[in-house]
Structure 1
Amino acid sequence: MQQSDAEGRQRMERQQPEALPGDSGRRPSGPGGGSGGAGAHDGTPGEPGPPGGGLFTEADAEKQRGLRRMKTVATGLLVFVGVVYALATWAEHRGAGAWAGYVAAAAEAGMVGALADWFAVTALFRHPLGLPIPHTAIIPTKKDQLGRSLGDFVGENFLSEEVVRRKLGSVRPGSRIGTWLAQPQNADRVTSELATAVRGGLRVLRDADVQAVVGEAVIRQVAGQEISPGLGRLLERTVADGGHHRTVDLVCARAHDWLVRHRESVMDAVVGGAPGWTPRFVDRKVGDRVYRELLRFVTEMRDVPDHPARAALDRFLDDFAQQLQHDPDTRARVERLKTDLLNRPELQDLIATAWANLRAMIITAAEDERSALRLRARAALLSLGARLATDARLQDKLDRWTADAVIHVVSGYRGEITSLITDTVASWDAAHTSRKIELHIGRDLQFIRLNGTIIGALAGLVIHTVTQLLSG
């Protein structure tokens, strides 16, 4: 345990920022302790301050080392011009000559420029010297306002309808998508991704939920519509076109085969229905005659297309079709039968079985790269890509659809999109945010201090020179 604690302390020490010369033993002052935010430390030029709360990565540590080096350079230049100013002033008082005045004026202006730019850079992230000077520590104190301004800027300049249309018009998504899809490897990739999505979606769906949704949809759809007129029209067209003839042929053939195999069953049925006072042999004679007549009738219906019974059946079906469409009693009976069927549990079992079979079939086809489903999907994508790549009218149509869809999303959800920026910035810790921003741009800001020192020195030299010329 002691060894683990020692290793943990060593890791923490390695993650601590390196101290500048002169920083040892000095603790940051002001509220926030070592947070690096407003009032986190005294803001002495060149002092980076400890990192704020939160996790700093290795990249942040590298940026911190670079920031510290640039602060050291800028502060070193300030110290250098201060030393030069002191020496030049001393030399001037000792009668070294006019050159000492020029050097002193340049060094003095360089110090003023360096201090002014140090104050400006430091005021972005903290109170200089820990003093609560107004309009300093801008980033920590104005963090939420900056987030709202950034969100407004993005909304006005990136999410406006004009910008979106102009950008999409220059991109020409229809042509690009077509050219990309026309390549077989890209079509294979899209097909594979679609298959993965289909498999994942079907596996996530629960059978009970799908069964309930489909069952409810089917029952609501069927129960809300009267089916009798539709069935009547279907039957009427079927009879008129002779579409029922094959069914009649099948029934007659099966009835003939059944009679041939079950002669005794027919005989027993006739004999069993005869009066008890008739002799047994008479009943058998009557049964045999009935069987032979029935077999002859069925055989003639099977073999003779123009049999009178077939014509009678056609008339019966046509009359029944008219009754289904126009007879109130028949329609009411059909509706009652429909309601009874919808309320039977077997219907839900049928839906569940059909869904299970359909899902298994789709999943199997999606997993098989050579299945007809995936091959057809790939061919459709290639065909669509080829058309998009060459058909200018289709490209324009897709471009308009894409622009309309994007603009609909942007117009309807612009507030939600920009609120992602503002809410995210608002949720950040002020001190940590300030420190992170300083790590990313602070190194470049130190060049302002360097430039301020150099430009200030040059400006001071020019002003002193002009003053000497005018006074002479």
Structure 2
Amino acid sequence: MDDKKTGGPGGPAGAAPAAGDAARLRGLRRMKFVATGLLILVTLGYALSTWAEHSGAGGWAGYLAAAFEAGMVGALADWFAVTALFRHPLGLPVPHTAIIPTKKDQLGQSLGDFVGENFLAEDVVRARLRSVALAHRLGQWLSRPANVDRVTAELATALRGGLTVLRDADVQAVIGEAVTRRAGQAEISPGLGRLLERTVAAGGHHRVVDLLCAQAHEWLEKHRDSVLSAVEGGAPGWTPRFVDRRVGERVYRELLRFAAEMRDSPDHPARAALDRFLTDFAGQLQHDPETRAKVERLKGEFLHRPEVQELIAAAWANVRVMILTAAADERSALRRRAHGAILGVGARLSADAGLREKLDGWVIDAALHVVSGYRNEITALITDTVASWDARTTSRRIELHIGRDLQFIRINGTVIGSLAGLLIHTATQAAGG
């Protein structure tokens, strides 16, 4: 009735309703027109039937007048009741009217309490989740290859999107800092000592020694002049050059023979001496504080070298490209493995009742943890949101959503009132007759 004053249910005075609410607004106005038109119709009917009764038209006019009068009263009463929900009827501050705007916060609190008690109660959540049989449904859904294809594609898209959003510089900085910090916190000397000790005890270093001996002998064969020059260059200046040459050749032959013997003889004394050295060094790495401190200093210097940080950055760039390429290729090993793993999960869930029970239990426990720990926060979201709404706007928004259905109350009140008035008048006439 007073939509003109309030600007209608769509918004403030003069404001156009939101595009999504246009259909609701049209439906509300249409039903208001029907209900108000019916009130006008019974009012005119009451006036005409009353005039006809006073004009001697006959007893039928009294029956119609009673029916129209009761319908008019019912229509007015229901109009008042419906309007009182959203505003003061005719702008008059009648007590217990404009219920929604004046009681908005209490309604929000009641709604929050209702949700908390009837939807977030632990027994309700437990029973509902148990009846859903989430694990069984998930297993059946993942058992179909088409669904697994969809999941795999979505995961690949999400992976590509995540890697695209991430800035390489930020990731490289985080990885570099994490690797450096983690490596700096862990002392590596004892671990290296134990590894070296086990390697020497098992003879695992022999192949490395063989390789070194072979390479040393090969280098000596190819660089004879370099050895001779080194020996001659270290000789005193007063010795004749032919003597330096003879000494150099003798030293070279001894070095070549020594390298050949070490290469060809696994039981060479030098090899045994190397084994003892490595065993002693392994013990020092584990138990000698000075050696351990030196190793830690070397480790720190190594980790903070620019070359190491560049290596970490390059490794991330290569891994990123590899993952992006694999995620985009439907035939890549990554996509195939992911597809097979998801399909396997679906098959296991479909066949293994124990696994389904365990998964359902995890879901229920997690949901109950959230409900029990955050019930007040969840209900507060409702109450605080309602409390933050503007009272008049809230009233108009609610009317926009349910007002059309409420207009049927006015229509029913008019019709039922008319029938009731007719029955009462009929009963009165019968009793008096």
TM-score w.r.t. the length of structure 1 is 0.83
**C-alpha deviation, 1:98, in angstroms:** 4.7
The 1-side partners of 2:215 and 2:141 are apart by 59
Q: 1:111 — aligned with what? A: 72
Percent identity among equivalent residues? Answer: 73
Q: 1:251 — aligned with what? A: 212
**Of the candidates 164, 167, 176, which is equivalent to residue 206 of structure 1?**
167
Contact 1:36–1:126, Cα closer than 8 Å, also in 2: no
Q: Deviations over 1:339-382 (max 9, x none)?
A: 33234333322222222222222222222222222221122111
Q: Deviations over 1:222-252 (max 9, x none)?
A: 2223221111111111111222122112211
Question: Are 1:261 and 2:222 matched, yes or no?
Answer: yes
**C-alpha deviation, 1:51, in angstroms:** 7.0
The 2-side partners of 1:146 and 1:465 are apart by 44
Quote the RMSD (CA, aligned, Å). Answer: 2.8
Q: 1:165 — aligned with what? A: 126
The 1-side partners of 2:208 and 2:61 are apart by 122
Distance 1:204 1:95, change over 3 A: closer
Distance 1:234 1:134, change over 3 A: same
**Residue 449 of structure 1 aligns to a residue in which SS?**
helix
Question: Are 1:35 and 2:4 matched, yes or no?
Answer: no
Map 1:17-416; keep pairs closer than 5 Å. Answer: 28-29=4-5, 34-36=6-8, 55-57=16-18, 60-94=21-55, 98-416=59-377
Distance 1:358 1:73, change over 3 A: closer
Question: Are 1:437 and 2:398 matched, yes or no?
Answer: yes
The 2-side partners of 1:143 and 1:323 are apart by 78
Distance 1:457 1:27, change over 3 A: closer
Contact 2:262–2:271, Cα closer than 8 Å, also in 1: yes
**Residue 365 of structure 1 aligns to a residue in which SS?**
helix
Give the AA of the match of 2:91: G
Aligned residues: 433
Distance 1:54 1:265, change over 3 A: farther
Higher mean alpha-carbon deviation, 285-294 vs 232-241, is at 285-294
**Between Structure 1 and Structure 2, which shows a larger proportion of helix residues?**
2
The 1-side partners of 2:16 and 2:372 are apart by 37
Give the AA of the match of 2:349: L
**C-alpha deviation, 1:162, in angstroms:** 2.4
Q: 2:418 — aligned with what? A: 457
Which segments of structure 1 move beyond 6 Å, counting only runs of 4 or more?
A: none
Contact 1:81–1:110, Cα closer than 8 Å, also in 2: yes
Higher mean alpha-carbon deviation, 346-355 vs 94-103, is at 94-103
Q: 1:18 — aligned with what? A: none
Distance 1:276 1:173, change over 3 A: same
Give the AA of the match of 1:331: R
The 2-side partners of 1:407 and 1:186 are apart by 29
Higher mean alpha-carbon deviation, 142-151 vs 397-406, is at 142-151
The 2-side partners of 1:314 and 1:347 are apart by 31
Contact 1:228–1:324, Cα closer than 8 Å, also in 2: yes
Contact 1:126–1:136, Cα closer than 8 Å, also in 2: yes
Contact 1:36–1:431, Cα closer than 8 Å, also in 2: no
Distance 1:54 1:158, change over 3 A: farther
**C-alpha deviation, 1:265, in angstroms:** 0.8
**C-alpha deviation, 1:213, in angstroms:** 2.1
Distance 1:67 1:334, change over 3 A: closer
**C-alpha deviation, 1:465, in angstroms:** 3.9
The 2-side partners of 1:314 and 1:55 are apart by 92
The 1-side partners of 2:152 and 2:70 are apart by 70
The 2-side partners of 1:266 and 1:161 are apart by 86
Contact 1:110–1:452, Cα closer than 8 Å, also in 2: yes
The 2-side partners of 1:276 and 1:116 are apart by 130
Distance 1:149 1:463, change over 3 A: same
Give the AA of the match of 2:405: D
Higher mean alpha-carbon deviation, 259-268 vs 128-137, is at 128-137
**C-alpha deviation, 1:212, in angstroms:** 2.7
Give the AA of the match of 1:390: A
Gapped runs of 5+ residues in structure 1?
1-22, 38-48
Distance 1:54 1:89, change over 3 A: closer
TM-score w.r.t. the length of structure 2 is 0.89
> Relative contact order, CA 8 A, sep 6+: which one is greater?
2
Q: Deviations over 1:257-280 (max 9, x none)?
A: 111110111111122222333332
Distance 1:192 1:50, change over 3 A: closer
Contact 1:196–1:366, Cα closer than 8 Å, also in 2: yes
The 2-side partners of 1:196 and 1:68 are apart by 47
Give the AA of the match of 2:172: Q
Q: Deviations over 1:422-471 (max 9, x none)?
A: 44444544434433332332222222112212222232333334444555
